[in-house]
Structure 1
C-alpha cells in the first residue's frame, strides 16, 4: 500500500511540474511567437473586460484581481510541490495540508470569478467571452481536483505516520 501511495505522490509531482511548465511556456511564448488574434484563448482572458464591467470597475481592476489569484495559486502550488517531496517530515506534511486547504478556497473563489457571467442574470454577454469563461473555469476545476488530491495524499500520509 505504501508503494501505491508513493506512486500517487510521484504522479501528483509530475502533474504539478507539467502544469508549471505548461503555464510558463504559455506565458512566455504565445505573445512572442504568435500574432493576435491567433491563440487568443491562451492569452490573458479576454472576458476580463466584461467581468470588469459586470463588477462596475475598470477592466484593469479585474485584471489585477486575476493576477492576484494567479500569484496566490502559484505560491500555494509551489508549497504543495515542495510538501509532496517531503511528506515524511511532519512539518512539511502540515504545510502541504494547510497550503492545499487555502488553495482550495482560492481556487473556489477563482472559479466563481470566471463563472460570474453565468451567475448574474439580465446582462447580454458576448458568446466569445462566455466560451473563454467556461474554458478558464475548466482549467481552474482541474487545478481544484489536483489540489484536492494533494490534500488527500497529505492526510493519508499523516494517518499512516500515526499508525506506525
Structure 2
C-alpha cells in the first residue's frame, strides 16, 4: 500500500497524525474527554428492587387468586354476577384512587409513615376479609386492601425514583 492510501480514512479524508494539532484555541471537545467513570450500583438498590418486584408479584397473585376463589365465594356469600365483579375489581379501582391519595400522604407523613399506615391497613383488611360473614364485609375488606396497595405502590415508586436519582 502506498503512503497516501494508509493516511486516508473510509470517507477519503486524510487522518490526523495527532489528536490535537497543537493549537489550543481549536481543540476538539471530544465526548471521550467528558465521560466519567460509572459508579457501581449499591447492593441496597438491588435488595429494594427485589422487594418492590415481590410486592408487584403479590398484587398480581392476589388478583389471580380472587378470580379463582370467586366460584367458591359465589356459593358461600350468594353473590350475583355484579357482586362477583365488584369483589374482584374493587381492589384495583381503590388502589388507583389511593395512589393519588398516597402521594399527598407521602408529603405529610413521609415515606416510612405511609408504609407503616399501609401495613396496618393491610392487616386490618386481611382480618376483615378473613372474618367476613356477608358480602358487605368482604367488599369492605377488599376496599381496604386496595387502599393499602395504592398507598404502598406510590410510596414504593417515589422512593425508587429518588434512589435512582441519587
For the aligned pair, the TM-score class normalised by the smaller chain equals 0.3 to 0.5
Q: TM-score, normalised by structure 1?
A: 0.35
Which structure shows the higher helix fraction?
Answer: 1
**Larger Rg: 1 or 2?**
2
Relative contact order: is structure 1 or structure 2 higher (C-alpha 8 Å, sep ≥ 6)?
1
Q: TM-score, normalised by structure 2?
A: 0.35
